[in-house]
């Protein structure tokens, strides 16, 4: 009975992760918990494995439930403790972003997102810093995380606009790379080619 209670508690906190938008963490914990509880039930009631042989699934179940519970409670505690300074830190990050200190802004917003992983604004702002640094992959992941934790869909339009900006930035970067790839050759090779072409023109003009 105690092991079933451990499973229920762990599953409850996994469900809280799912409900609050942290899908992969909640889904991973749910899959692990159901796998270990099924393993233990089959070992005990179907295979009638001795108690010593049931220790691995039991310990795995207990550790997974404990880690899931601790992860959720610690994240909520970090959010509560950092709440009084959140506005000042966010303002500092915006100032860094607007003044072009993109690396510093990235660090500030990464810290804010770690303190409160349910903060869509911090994820969007960090995505903006990454996008302006040219890190399209990181920016896309930040916007995706923001969309995941935005369970009330208050930032849907803003995220759509940011994703369009990201797509336009990526397209512009590809065009710039393409133009750089077809630029006229320069240096000794270009000079050699130019001299060869001039020589060919002179021979054609002299009829030889």
CATH of domain 100-181: 1.25.40.10
Domain spans, the chain: 1-83, 100-181
The length of the chain is: 208
pLDDT at 175: 63
| Average pLDDT across the chain, whole number | 84
User: Mind listing the pLDDT tens digit for each residue in 84-112?
Assistant: 999 999 999 999 999 999 999 999 999 99
Torsion angle of the four alpha carbons 178, 180, 182, 183, in this order, in degrees rounded to the nearest 10: 160
Q: What is the largest CA-CA distance in the chain?
A: 103
DSSP string of the chain? -HHHHHHHHHHHHHHHHHHTT-HHHHHHHHHHHHHHHHHHHIIIIIS---GGGGHHHHHHHHHHHHHHHHHHHHHHHHHHHHHHHHHHHHHHHHHHHHTT-HHHHHHHHHHHHHH-TT-HHHHHHHHHHHHHTT-HHHHHHHHHHHHHH-TT-SSHHHHHHHHHHHHHHHHHHHHHHHHHHTSPP-SHHHHHHHHHHHHHHHHHHHT-
User: Mind listing the pLDDT tens digit for each residue in 124-172?
Assistant: 999 999 999 999 999 999 999 999 999 989 999 999 999 998 888 766 6
CA 156 – CA 167 distance, rounded (Å): 16
For 169-188, what is the mean pLDDT? 59
132: nearest Cα among 109, 114, 113, 150: 109
Task: Give the pLDDT band (50/70/90) at residue 79.
Answer: very high
CA 200 – CA 181 distance, rounded (Å): 27
């Amino acid at each position: 009975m105690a092991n079933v209670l451990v499973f229920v508690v762990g599953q409850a906190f996994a469900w809280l992760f799912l409900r609050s938008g942290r899908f992969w963490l909640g889904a991973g914990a749910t899959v692990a918990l159901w796998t270990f509880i099924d393993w233990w039930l089959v070992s005990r009631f179907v295979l009638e494995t001795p108690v010593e042989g049931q220790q691995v699934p039991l310990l795995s179940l207990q550790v997974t439930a404990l880690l899931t519970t601790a992860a959720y409670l610690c994240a909520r505690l970090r959010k509560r403790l950092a709440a009084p300074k959140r506005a000042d830190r966010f303002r500092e990050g915006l100032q860094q972003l607007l003044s072009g200190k993109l690396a510093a802004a990235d660090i500030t917003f990464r810290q804010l997102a770690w303190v409160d992983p349910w903060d869509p604004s911090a994820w969007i702002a960090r995505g903006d810093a990454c996008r302006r640094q040219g890190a399209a992959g990181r920016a896309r992941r930040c916007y995706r995380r923001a969309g995941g934790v935005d369970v009330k869909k208050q930032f849907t339009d803003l995220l759509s606009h940011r994703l369009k900006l990201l797509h336009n930035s990526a397209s512009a970067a590809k065009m710039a790379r393409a133009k750089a790839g077809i630029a006229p050759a320069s240096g000794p090779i270009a000079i050699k080619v130019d001299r060869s072409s001039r020589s060919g023109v002179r021979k054609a003009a002299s009829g030889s």
